Amino acid sequence: MPPPLVCLLLLLFLLAVPRPSSVAAEVSRPGGKPHVFPLRARQVPAGVLPRPPSKLRFHHNVSLTVSLSVGTPPQNVTMVLDTGSELSWLLCAPGLQGGAARGESFRPRASATFAAVPCGSAQCRSRDLPAPPSCDGATRQCRVSQSYADGSTSDGTLATDVFRVGDAPPLRSAFGCMATAYDSSSDGVATAGLLGMNRGALSFVSQASTRSFSYCISDRDDAGVLLLGHSDLPFLPLNYTPLYQPTLPLPYFDRVAYSVQLLGIRVGGKPLPIPASVLAPDHTGAGQTMVDSGTQFTFLLGDAYSALKAEFLTQTRPILPALNDPNFAFQEAFDTCFRVPGGQSAPSARLPAVTLQFKGAEMVVAGDRLLYKVPGERRGGDGVWCLTFGNADMVPLTAYVIGHHHQMNVWVEYDLERGRVGLAPVKCDVASQRLGLML
């Protein structure tokens, strides 16, 4: 079973981002040698992670992080890596004396290569962002905003600077230089912002001309792997599912997300009686299925969640006593919960696997990934454990979201060149060894 929430798997993605004119062309070619990097576990304090409007409206303190340097001379920063967001942003200190000692903020005035984006720039006319950029009439600089989990917003300047990741050549990239700080604490890794990795024009992936990247999120704290470039590896029998894109623009469909087609769900091998219309986007675009590294657990829309909850409770009745507390929902959306005697772990090996079926591929969630121990929650001498599938309607959220907890020990490839996502079950520590990484 994973460790408690504040210590669950947090990955340090040591990316290598190429220039579009040189290394990017090399890693984009089929058969080109990919860049391979280890992943490391990191801790992010509770309550520090802002969520854009399309995200869940509650705090998560488990996120994937990437450490890199920005500016000239380089300033080290730690950013949340999010395949569900476009605009990268950094918390910018107001001057040279900003508190950046531990990577909490970026100091733009200390960087010789920092430049604000003017209102007339094409980057300021991006239509991919949830909140369109605006123009500051006084400075003629492009302004961007970001929404937080508590409903507040942070305004900032759209800017560019040099990003350096690993030993790769530097890349000039656009990002939001935000003015508002958020809570942090001394017992975790401070995060300076977010690295957007979706398919939007201003995402880090697009600006780096990266046409394929993949990762394996480990269930261990210190074993995982990230590849930038095509991962044509013989020991990875990937099954691919196509990225889904409606023919017409729809108001509630995120067209730059990594959306796939969810066709069905099985519990312990039994198909759930969910109509196909429930699993597909409706006429407004609501109901798409997104693969998202920026969300911890997986969320299903109400009808699908209710079917999963009913069948999972039925099959686990001989194994685990249900919590039966209608007033309790972990993180506001997880109410399929159980009682486990204190000091014991849930009987993971006996739990029925949950299989998400896609067109051409599937993802099996089994064992330790099915239940999560709620920190500090007890009923008498029992601990409380909840199913790691949440009810999106309770958040609320208008999409199916597959979080990184259910991507553990699954090789996930984002193939933008062919418009598909590849999935293969694999032990991440074994994959790391096969790739020559000593972790």
Q: Point out the residues that are catalytic.
A: 82, 292
Distance CA 388, CA 368 (A): 10
Query: Can you read off the two tokens belonging to residue 75?
Result: 């300033």
**Contact between 411 and 431 (Cβ < 8 Å):** yes
Among 89, 254, 227, which Cα is nearest to 160's? Answer: 89
Residues facing residue 81 across a β-bridge: 195
**Contact between 156 and 92 (Cβ < 8 Å):** yes
Q: How many CA atoms, within 13 angstroms, populate the side-chain half-sphere of residue 114?
A: 22
Sheet (strand 371-379) strand order:
337-341, 382-387, 371-379
Distance CA 305, CA 291 (A): 17
Distance CA 41, CA 53 (A): 27
Distance CA 44, CA 225 (A): 20
**Contact between 186 and 196 (Cβ < 8 Å):** no
Distance CA 71, CA 92 (A): 12
Q: What is the DSSP letter of 57?
A: S
Torsion of CA 309, 333, 330, 39, to 10 degrees: 100
Distance CA 10, CA 349 (A): 24
**Contact between 331 and 295 (Cβ < 8 Å):** no
Query: Can you read off the two tokens belonging to residue 6?
Result: 């504040």
Sheet (strand 270-271) strand order:
270-271, 262-267, 354-358, 361-365
Distance CA 88, CA 106 (A): 13
